[in-house]
Amino acid sequence: MKRLKKPKINKTLIVLIVVFIVFIISGYKIYKEKQQINELYKKCREIQNDPNLMLECKCIPTFAFNKTYASGTVKEKTSPFCTCICDIGQNKQHIFEIRISNNKKTNR
């Protein structure tokens, strides 16, 4: 009488499945990050084109500007959003940062 062999799962197949899953998850994270960056650029362009600004400005996400002008306390309580470089006339430029508060609202 012959014994029926249990089918063995090939270890290579398991490794390939795990690598495929990691690849899918990594791809999704990269896609979401790219979407967030594009949204940030879009919001900075909206600020740049705001008619209330009344200056000719170029606004880009602060991470792309690679410099921050915030003081220590401001850095602790806010996150960088956009950095705008504005022409204030007479060949002078003014650089300012738009930051988002890290404080969470609490109901009291």
Q: In this predicted model, what pLDDT tens digit does every residue of 69-103 receive, in sequence order?
A: 666 666 667 777 888 888 887 888 888 887 777 77
Q: How far apart are CA 64 and CA 12, in angstroms?
A: 42
Is residue 60 scored above 80 in pLDDT?
yes
The more confident residue out of 81 and 16 is 16
Where exactly are the structural domains of the chain?
11-101
pLDDT band at 108 (very low <50, low <70, confident <90, very high): very low
Q: Let me know: does 100 contact 74? Beta carbons within 8 Å.
A: no
pLDDT in tens, 29-40: 999 989 988 888
* pTM exceeds cut of 0.85: no
